[in-house]
């Protein structure tokens, strides 16, 4: 089954596939172990920083090995590519999806670049995710409150989204309706009325929800139901689980200089977060 088939299945059966950012090998292992345990399809995604750390060719090989080893559907996504060349490199390398983030460009440039990527990607059955409304925040635990009024100004305008989809032919739209990158003390509520309006105008398009950390489980489930969201990106919560477990392990084993000996509990800590997300997303047993 291709990525398109998996998202179509998710949409018709009412579940979402978790797209987890892979910051290091332990996180890669934890996400795959958790998904295999839950018999769930999963998406591994790499931001440009993460690609810089691993190397594009290594990512493709690691994922190919993981598919064989874990025997579950593992989709591969390039997360928030800001440049056409980066996106085309992932298409050439055989990713399943490329998320072109043209939200900092003018609408016209965004359309023009996104179309170029769509043309290349669709010759290889690779999906393209597009973004027009810059998703606020960054993937970390924020101590400062968000300005909720300013935030609302960045929410998706359904009509503009429809124009973008029509003009580009892209496959997955990154909708913005209260979802933000990272966690905040005043985490905003999702705007379900807006989500329903986006769903209505983009009735032929897959929808993703970025900023999957920090949103209460009930709201995530409602978003999957109302918006038929098929892909939910998660980064902050897994990075935080990794970091907390690493700090704890190093504190408990101050003399240890063999890194891999510290990792079993770290992997377990990240797995717990991924398993909990899979429960909320409803993808358990769908592999």
Q: Which residues pair with 6 in a beta bridge?
A: none
Q: Does 233 bind ligand 13P (CB under 6 A)?
A: yes
Stretch that binds ligand 13P, among 89-97, 125-133, 205-213, 278-286 (CB under 6 A): 205-213
Catalytic residue annotation: 79
Stretch that binds ligand 13P, among 112-120, 123-131, 216-224, 230-238 (CB under 6 A): 230-238
Nearest Cα to 233, choosing from 90, 135, 146?
135
Identified binder of ligand 13P from the candidate list 234, 245, 269, 271, rule CB under 6 A: 234
Q: HSE (CB half, 13 Å, CA atoms) of 215?
A: 27
Q: Does 156 bind ligand 13P (CB under 6 A)?
A: no
Q: Does 286 bind ligand 13P (CB under 6 A)?
A: no
Identified binder of ligand 13P from the candidate list 211, 249, 273, 277, rule CB under 6 A: 211
Rounded Cα distance, 154 and 176, in Å:
8
Q: Does 213 bind ligand 13P (CB under 6 A)?
A: yes
Q: How far is the CB of 198 from ligand 13P (least distance, A)?
A: 17
Nearest Cα to 271, choosing from 234, 230, 242?
242
Q: How far is the CB of 77 from ligand 13P (least distance, A)?
A: 9
Q: Does 171 bind ligand 13P (CB under 6 A)?
A: no
Q: Does 236 bind ligand 13P (CB under 6 A)?
A: yes
Helices (H), 207-282: 217-227, 236-252, 263-281
Rounded Cα distance, 272 and 266, in Å:
10
Angstrom CA distances, 243 to 130, 204, 247, 250, 263, stand at 30, 40, 6, 11, 11
Give the interface with ligand 13P as residue ranges (CB under 6 A): 21, 79-80, 139, 181-182, 210-213, 233-236
């Amino acid at each position: 089954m291709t990525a398109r088939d998996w998202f179509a299945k998710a949409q018709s059966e009412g579940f979402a596939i978790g797209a987890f950012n892979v910051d290091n090998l332990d996180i890669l292992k934890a996400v795959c172990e958790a998904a295999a345990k839950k018999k769930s399809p999963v998406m591994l995604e790499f931001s440009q920083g993460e690609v810089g750390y691993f190397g594009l060719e290594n990512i493709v090989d690691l994922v190919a090995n993981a598919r064989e080893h874990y025997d579950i559907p593992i989709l591969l996504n390039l997360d928030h590519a800001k440049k056409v060349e980066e996106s085309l490199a992932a298409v050439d390398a055989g990713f399943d999806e490329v998320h072109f983030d043209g939200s900092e460009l003018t609408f016209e440039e965004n359309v023009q670049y996104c179309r170029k990527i769509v043309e290349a990607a669709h010759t290889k059955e690779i999906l393209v995710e597009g973004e027009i409304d810059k998703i606020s925040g960054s993937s970390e635990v924020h101590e400062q409150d968000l300005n909720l009024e300013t935030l609302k100004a960045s929410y998706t305008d359904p009509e503009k989204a429809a124009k973008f989809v029509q003009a580009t032919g892209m496959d997955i739209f990154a909708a913005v309706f209260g979802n933000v990158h990272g966690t905040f003390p005043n985490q905003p509520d999702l705007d379900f009325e807006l989500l329903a309006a986006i769903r209505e105008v983009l009735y032929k398009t897959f929808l993703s929800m970025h900023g999957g950390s920090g949103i209460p489980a009930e709201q995530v489930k409602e978003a999957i139901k109302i918006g038929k969201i098929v892909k939910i990106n998660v980064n902050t919560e897994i990075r935080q689980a990794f970091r907390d477990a690493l700090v704890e392990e190093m504190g408990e084993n101050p003399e240890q200089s063999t890194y891999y000996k510290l990792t079993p509990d770290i992997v377990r800590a990240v797995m717990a977060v991924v398993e909990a997300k899979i429960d909320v997303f409803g993808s358990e047993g769908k592999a």
